[in-house]
Structure 1
Amino acid sequence: MPKPPLSARFTIWVLVALLATPIAVTLVYSLAASWGAHILPSGFSLQWYAQLWSDSRFLAAFGRSLLVCLAALVLSLALILPALFVVFYYFPKLKGLMNLLVLMPFAVPPVVSSVGLLQLYAGGPLPLAGTPWILVLCYFTLSLPFMYRALANNLEAINLHDLMDAAHLLGAGTTRAFLQVVLPNIRNGLLSALFLAFSFLFGEFVFANLLVGTRFETLQVYLYSQRTTSGHFTSAMVMSYFLFIGLATWVALRLQSRRA
């Protein structure tokens, strides 16, 4: 592999520095005992993290966010995997329509969508407004574009018809071929789709705040409610969120490399 020129390496380091500086400053501020008029903090302490992780309200909001995101991902995975297989294997002419349909959740601004959902489910046979179910169903639709695009790219790359024909020649039925031949070939794309959707949903605020608010307080709603408290405390929250997403990214990359 040729050694990159100095200009290329300089560009990469500048980009890394620009991306890392806000994170590093937030980390230092979250560890500072106090940081007022001086350039450097007066001391370092873990008191903000201890205060954060001993707060039962924060832990409950964190757990609710995890629960809602995982429920939405399970629901979207149960729908999108069979639908993708049917479209790509039996009805390939419908790919364009599917691309259009899965992008529709992003065609309407979140505030407009939230108002429509509140009016639709405020009463009637399904009074879901203010309950976590409306948030799960909303997150389900938001996760579909991430799931569909990542899995569709994998299905287009593995020659689905050739794999299925080979499995049929060896005596496997369609369901068995899908489970034992197709799924192992798209598992890296599946992990990528799950992580992309999870990282987006876990940080989503607008729908969570408008649809359920403090009645089912998620992590982002809790973070918004603490905006007037100590900046050190909110910085500790932001860094905890960032470290959790970073850990999830590391786990996803390890799983992909191990199964590659």
Structure 2
Amino acid sequence: MSRIENFYHRGVVTVMLIILLSPLVATLIYAFSSQWGSTILPEGFTLKWMTELLQDPRFLIALEHSLIICFGALALSVVLVLPLMFVIAYYFPRLDSVMNILILLPFAVPPVVSSVGLLQLYSDGPLALTGTPWILIGCYFTIALPFIYRAITNNMQAIHLRDLMDAAQLLGASTWKAAILVVLPNLRKGCMIALLLSFSFLIGEFVFANLLVGNRFETLQVYLYNLRNGSGHLTSALVISYFLVVLLLTLAANTVNKDKD
């Protein structure tokens, strides 16, 4: 690669990073600014808004609710989907093309339409789940399914699942023993990527949370929506806190991965 090409590629990457990070940096500055309206730069900086947010019990409860729902949906996804994916990849590989179509169905129906249908189904009767976290866990499970299935399927193809299983069985391992002790550890990175992608998407989901649960089980995005008429500084502090939670979980997951490697 010539010097001119290298400079061009670095320039394109730098411009893209500036475009992507500028809104986040501006939000961060606004969250810590005491006043920013009449001038190009903030007139001062303060921790007032972040302190006020962290001392708000509603914020802490909303964060707890969001984490409970996201972790519950992801745990349910892994427990149900991972064995199914192994069975399909090992015993019925021809069904992979069918699954690739089925996992896209959650994105084929708009969330508003899905919410209306779910409200009609679960507002009364034996399964009156509207207004409870259980209906959100079920919805988030369907949303996370495409991310989890695609990431883990790619990981299974990369480790050559059938060759790995045949080698383990030649050494005397049963099918399920080989799946748990040989295949599962090799899927760790794929599972981690799938969970992080799903979590970063689910914790920002608003439509299902607002229409199906609303203030009865307030999540971060519903709490943010309820602050729309309040201080913009406080709202910016909440957005930064949201990104900080995702960043901390990503760093923790990467640290665990490195330690196991």
Which TM-score bucket, shorter chain as reference? over 0.9
Aligned ranges 1:66-145 → 2 under 5 Å: 66-145=67-146
CA distance in 1, matches of 2:238, 2:24: 12
Counterpart in the other structure of 2:8: 7
Aligned to 1:242: 243
Map of 2:165 onto structure 1? 164
The amino acid that maps onto 1:182 is V
**1:199 maps to what in 2?**
200
Distance in 2 between the 1:36 and 1:153 partners? 48
Moved more, 223-232 or 5-14: 5-14
What secondary structure is seen at the aligned counterpart in 2 of 1:212?
Answer: helix
What are the Cα deviations for residues 131-169 of structure 1, in whole angstroms up to 9, with x where unaligned?
Answer: 111111111111111100000011111111111111111
Q: Report matched runs for 1:19-30 at 5 Å.
A: 19-30=20-31
Correspondence for 1:63: 64
- SS of alignment partner, residue 16 of structure 1: helix
Greater shift in the superposed pair: 76-85 or 162-171: 162-171
Deviations 1:191-243 (A, max 9, x none): 00011111110110010001100111000000010011111110111111112
Post-superposition offset of 1:38: 1.9
Structure-1 residue corresponding to 2:232: 231
Deviation at 1:124, TM superposition (A): 2.0
Partner of 2:42: 41
TM-score by length of 1: 0.96
Q: State the 1:2 CA deviation.
A: 7.9
- Separation in structure 2 between the aligned mates of residue 144 and residue 42 of structure 1, nearest angstrom: 46
Q: Secondary structure at the match of 2:34?
A: strand
The answer to whether structure 1 residue 187 and structure 2 residue 188 are counterparts is yes
Aligned-partner residue type, residue 213 of structure 2: V
The RMSD of aligned alpha carbons is 1.4
Distance in 2 (alpha carbons) for counterparts of 1:162 and 1:90: 13
5+ residue gaps, structure 2: none
Q: What are the superposed Cα offsets for residues 3-42 of structure 1, whole Å, 9 maximum, x if unpaired?
A: 7621111111111111121111111111111123122222
How many matched pairs? 260
How many Å separate the matches in 2 of 1:162 and 1:28?
Answer: 53
Find the aligned partners of 1:12 and 1:163 in 2 and give their Cα distance. 39
Residue 211 of structure 1 aligns with which residue? 212
Instruction: Report the secondary structure of 1:37's partner residue.
Output: coil
Cα distance in structure 2, aligned partners of 1:246 and 1:108 = 30
1:102, distance to aligned residue in structure 2 (A):
1.3
Report the residue type matching 1:94 in the other structure.
L
Q: What TM-score do you get using the length of structure 2 for normalisation?
A: 0.96
Note the C-alpha offset of 1:252: 2.6
In 2, the alpha carbon distance for the partners of 1:100 and 1:38 equals 52
Deviates more, 1:238-247 or 1:113-122: 238-247
